[in-house]
Amino acid sequence: MNKFQRFFNGILGGISSQEKINFARNLSVGIKSGMPLIGILVLLKQQTTSKYFQRIIQGFIDNLNNGQSLAQALSNAKNVFDNFFISIVKVGESSGNLSSSLLYLSQELKKQREIKNKIKSALIYPVIIFCATIGITLFLTIFIFPKLLPVFSSLNIDLPISTKILIALLAFIKSYGLLSLGVLIALLIILKLLLKFKKARFAYDCFLLKLPFISKVIKEITLTSFTRSMHVLLKSGVIIMDALSITRNTFSNLYYKKEINNMIEYVRRGESLAHYLEQNPRFFPSMLTGMIKVGESAGKLEENLEYLSEYYESEVDETLKNLVTIIEPIMLLIMGLMVGFIAISIITPIYKVSQSVFY
């Protein structure tokens, strides 16, 4: 399968996170029950409704019939199953605990999906308010105000400053509205293209980590992913160097990827993971460092990482709730100010006309 086909299938025939969770869990149950692996895959192929996923599973069956392991078969579909997924399966096959590894994997994928859903849910209300604000503003500005504008122009009254601003804005939209929209779209496309370059993306990610509230959300989500992935990998039997390399590939923020690279070099020299974290308190809080230090000393790193992943997940929940609590009144205030400004711009001249008529 060439790169174009992988991209095309990933967009139009992609596999949902729920399908991946079901795939891992059903494989785990089937292996535990004693069914042959190829027989399980044939059954899963029959159960799935996705034609694309059916082709992927058939590829696994063909590869297994040709003598490949499941991990090798999965590596041929890296556009669907990432290094984290493949590594857990590989360790499970090597240790003879494939069923348990797949169960851990399904649970981890489920938790990752839950975090993503929480982020989406937290943003739904602000997005609705924003769209409603823009919609009402455009409706009043484009459809209501132009009908009243000839009346205002024919009257010999001094228009208030808010009405003059609205008239100027309407004139600008008529003359340069489409051009402005085109420029805005072009700038967004240019920004998206620039972010494909590593240096530009790195600078962008560093900028996000300097923003007061957004940086907190990014750090907590990243640390949740870091601790949970490390816990699952170490529990599955992956050595710490390989676990760090695999975990690095799960990060979207390039700055944290760079930190993991430095971490790997540090551990390779024989230093402890906690010692490196101590040198970077801005991005790795003291609680994280302390728990990992105790875990390394007591030989309970996996357990401490599991506790940390649960702790940071609860922190993400709390931060997202606070985010919604803060954004709601701000968005409502902005909506009120914009609609109020337009209403005043329309009502004030009408009030002046009525005053002149009666007096």
CATH number of the CATH domain containing 282: 1.20.81.30
Dihedral, 47, 53, 59, 61 alpha carbons, nearest 10: -20
Measured between alpha carbons, how far is 260 from 263 in angstroms, rounded to an integer? 5
Q: Name residues whose C-beta falls within 8 Å of residue 118's C-beta, 6 or more positions apart in sequence.
A: 316, 317, 320
Out of 33-37, 41-45, 63-67, 211-215, which region has the weakest mean confidence (pLDDT)?
Answer: 211-215
Out of 6-10, 13-17, 59-63, which region has the weakest mean confidence (pLDDT)?
Answer: 6-10
Picking from 81, 99, 134, the residue at the C-terminal end of a domain is 81
Task: Name the nearest CA neighbour of 230 among 286, 296, 316, 282.
Answer: 296
Kindly state whether residue 317 falls inside one of the protein's structural domains.
yes
Kindly state whether residue 63 falls inside one of the protein's structural domains.
yes
The total number of structural domains in the chain stands at: 2
Residue 193 pLDDT > 60: yes
pLDDT confidence of residue 187: 93
Buried residues in 132-167 as b, exposed as e (16+ CB within 10 A): ebeeeeeebbeeebeeebeebeeeeeebbebbeebb
Kindly state whether residue 87 falls inside one of the protein's structural domains.
no
Q: Are 115 and 179 contained in the same domain? A: yes
Residue 137 is classified by DSSP as: H
pTM above 0.95, yes or no: no
Measured between alpha carbons, how far is 104 from 21 in angstroms, rounded to an integer? 10
Kindly state whether residue 88 falls inside one of the protein's structural domains.
no
Q: Are 260 and 341 contained in the same domain? A: yes
**Per-residue pLDDT band at 357 (split at 50, 70, 90):** low
Residue 203 pLDDT > 70: yes
Q: Are 67 and 178 contained in the same domain? A: no
Q: Where are the beta strands (DSSP E) in the chain?
A: none
Residue 177 pLDDT > 90: no
- For residues 244 and 137, which has the higher predicted lDDT (pLDDT)? 244
Q: Are 187 and 252 contained in the same domain? A: yes
Q: List the domain range (segments joined by +) for residue 8.
A: 3-81
Residue 124 pLDDT > 70: yes
Task: Give me the residue label for tokens 């972010």.
Answer: 195
Q: Are 73 and 115 contained in the same domain? A: no
Q: Do 225 and 251 touch, CB atoms closer than 8 A?
A: yes
Q: Are 236 and 351 contained in the same domain? A: yes
pLDDT confidence of residue 185: 93
Residue 149 pLDDT > 80: no
- For residues 40 and 168, which has the higher predicted lDDT (pLDDT)? 40
pLDDT confidence of residue 153: 66
- Percent of the chain exceeding pLDDT 70 equals 92
Measured between alpha carbons, how far is 357 from 295 in angstroms, rounded to an integer? 83
Dihedral, 77, 80, 86, 92 alpha carbons, nearest 10: -100
**Mean pLDDT value of segment 183-203:** 90
